[in-house]
Structure 1
Amino acid sequence: MQRPLVSIIMPAYNSNNYIASSIASVINQDYQNWELIIVDDFSKDETFKIISAFSEKDKRIKVFRNKSNRGAGFSRNKALKEANGEFIAFLDADDLWKREKLSKQLNFCLENKVNIVYSSYEKIDEQGRLLKQKIKALPFVNYQKLMRSNYIGNLTGMYNAAKIGKIYLPEIRKRQDWAMWLVVVEKGGTAHGIEDSLAFYRIRKGSVSENKLAMLFYNFKIYNEVLGFGKLKSLYWMLVFLGDHFFVKSKQTVSID
């Protein structure tokens, strides 16, 4: 029996220092029925050259390039349009997967008949060194919980597109993955978390994840512009978000040896 095809969505911009390792972490998966769709967002470095070389060696790797810099949301949507898989997964060009990532998540979905899965993950620095921090996945997340904050690490998330369809992202510059997961969960039901750490998230200087003020700005845009809340309602949900951020999400980060 043919196992499901997994389409892996990877936007890339000026990632020549990291993308070869990210691609290698896909190639080295113990589950091999996948396609990797990379969209280069008009990089100014050697990113496109690197991914083209991988594509020449492995036909499962499909490469596209934007004619101008359009942002991660646009690039992910472009990759989604080319995706043929029954399942959709996401990996950014500077992050890494553990070898068993796809197999564990796919088996979980099929055995438990669920549409959406994610997992715990660990942090690494720009050089790929472990920061000895693990972000523990909650056992499950429903739509109301996800409204309070994004509890699905995008590099760990996977959903059954054959069941709920492809879900596209709003083309805002940042935090569009959270908006996408809200729609995925709204359509596909509860997202289920795997406690095992299955990926490595790279912390880079100047990133939005490091810049807390920028993160708050884009969170407000999700409530106000994407979800269509008025400014007062958006401010209320920002307070809800901050409450979860400081009193719930902070407890998900644990030290590891």
Structure 2
Amino acid sequence: MTKESVLDTRVSIIVPVHNASDYIESTIKMVEAQTYTNWELILVDDASTDDSVEKITSAIEESSFSQEHFVLILKNKNEKAAAARNTGLDAASGRYIAFLDADDVWLPEKLERELEFMEKEGASFVFMSYEFGDENAKPTGKIVHVPDRLDYKHALSRTVIFTSTTLFDTRHLDKKLIYMPLIESEDTATWWNILKTGVIARGLDMPLIIYRRPANSLSSNKFVAIKRIWGLYRKIAHLNVISSLVHLVGWAYRATVRRL
């Protein structure tokens, strides 16, 4: 296989890392366990103060995969997840881009099934259903199902796209659109910016991702989530106050049902 053909089928997996010592070794192992093996794992350490970097370095050295599968980038200043993902995008060499947060879990067939679905549907932006897990990532049985298609209008009232489920084809989607704005809820803002161009995101209702969620996360973050989505309506979608309120009600209902 030529270098060009390798890059044309490679998935660049971008993982922002900040004090992720408890998870990062498992994160690397779950990527290594993927049934689709043409990937590069781009780990962007966002100025961790724990031993995340040491664990990453050790895991790479001990890996059965070649060193070419791994890229470790060290940032001197903590700039948060959006900036770290953008740094990873700068370094990505693959045609396909996938995001993975260090505390989330991919099941082994995640990439293979998503790539098959993307090719079958001729899609440039794909996302998947997922299952909530507890603080130890043990599945709770609560699955968030996703629609087959999601356009900009319907995305405004349902934040159903979860970052660690996404996959992008940069042959058919301008890579510049995937870069995240440095604001709160940068991931949702990014999906909206992409969909605003007329792209239709395609949903694969196959829960091969586990979203780790501590038991108290919903109650402690409700006000923060409302404030963030309101900011997106006003600053990203540029909706007026009335329209923002209408969309906020729909969003709150769906978000509550999704998490209960």
Same fold (TM over 0.5): yes
Instruction: List per-residue Cα deviations over 1:138-193 (Å, max 9, x = no partner).
Output: 12101111122322111111111121121210012x31001111122334621111
Q: For residues 235 and 131 of structure 1, do their structure 2 counterparts lie closer, same or farther at Cα, with a shift above 3 Å needed?
A: farther
Distance 1:208 1:61 in 2: 34
Q: For residues 32 and 112 of structure 1, do their structure 2 counterparts lie closer, same or farther at Cα, with a shift above 3 Å needed?
A: same
Residue pair 1:204, 1:210 contacting (<8 A) in 2 also: no
1:197 is displaced (CA, Å) by 0.6
Distance 1:138 1:54 in 2: 37
Aligned residues: 249
Distance 2:104 2:143 in 1: 14
Distance 2:232 2:53 in 1: 31
What's the counterpart of residue 113 of structure 1?
A: 122
Q: For residues 115 and 93 of structure 1, do their structure 2 counterparts lie closer, same or farther at Cα, with a shift above 3 Å needed?
A: same
What's the counterpart of residue 130 of structure 1?
A: 139
Aligned residue for 2:98, secondary structure, equals strand
Q: For residues 101 and 36 of structure 1, do their structure 2 counterparts lie closer, same or farther at Cα, with a shift above 3 Å needed?
A: same
**Residues 9-20 of structure 1: pairs in structure 2 closer than 5 A:** 9-20=14-25
Moved more, 16-25 or 67-76: 16-25
Instruction: List per-residue Cα deviations over 1:221-253 (Å, max 9, x = no partner).
Output: 2233344x37xx15632441332331x444556
Give the TM-score, by structure 2 length. Answer: 0.87
Residue pair 2:156, 2:247 contacting (<8 A) in 1 also: no
Letter of the 1:170 counterpart: P
Letter of the 1:31 counterpart: Y
What's the counterpart of residue 65 of structure 1?
A: 74
Residue pair 2:127, 2:162 contacting (<8 A) in 1 also: yes
Residue pair 1:179, 1:222 contacting (<8 A) in 2 also: yes
Instruction: List per-residue Cα deviations over 1:30-88 (Å, max 9, x = no partner).
Output: 00001111111111111111122233344212111211111111101000110111111
Distance 2:218 2:179 in 1: 21
Give the TM-score, by structure 1 length. Answer: 0.88
Residue pair 2:137, 2:213 contacting (<8 A) in 1 also: no
1:205 is displaced (CA, Å) by 6.2
Letter of the 1:53 counterpart: S
In structure 2, runs of 5+ residues without a counterpart are none
Distance 2:130 2:23 in 1: 18
Residue pair 2:105, 2:137 contacting (<8 A) in 1 also: no
1:186 and 2:196 aligned: yes
Q: For residues 152 and 37 of structure 1, do their structure 2 counterparts lie closer, same or farther at Cα, with a shift above 3 Å needed?
A: same
Distance 2:162 2:76 in 1: 29
What's the counterpart of residue 108 of structure 2?
A: 99
The runs of 4+ residues in structure 1 deviating greater than 3 Å are 55-58, 204-210, 248-254
Distance 1:14 1:156 in 2: 22
Q: For residues 30 and 186 of structure 1, do their structure 2 counterparts lie closer, same or farther at Cα, with a shift above 3 Å needed?
A: same
Counting aligned pairs with the same residue, the percent is 31
Distance 1:55 1:222 in 2: 38
Letter of the 1:122 counterpart: E
Residue pair 1:38, 1:63 contacting (<8 A) in 2 also: yes
Please give the root-mean-square deviation of Cα atoms over the aligned residues, in Å: 2.2
Aligned residue for 1:132, secondary structure, equals strand
Instruction: List per-residue Cα deviations over 1:84-140 (Å, max 9, x = no partner).
Output: 111111110100101111011101111221111111111111122222211111121
Distance 1:63 1:102 in 2: 21
Aligned residue for 1:211, secondary structure, equals helix
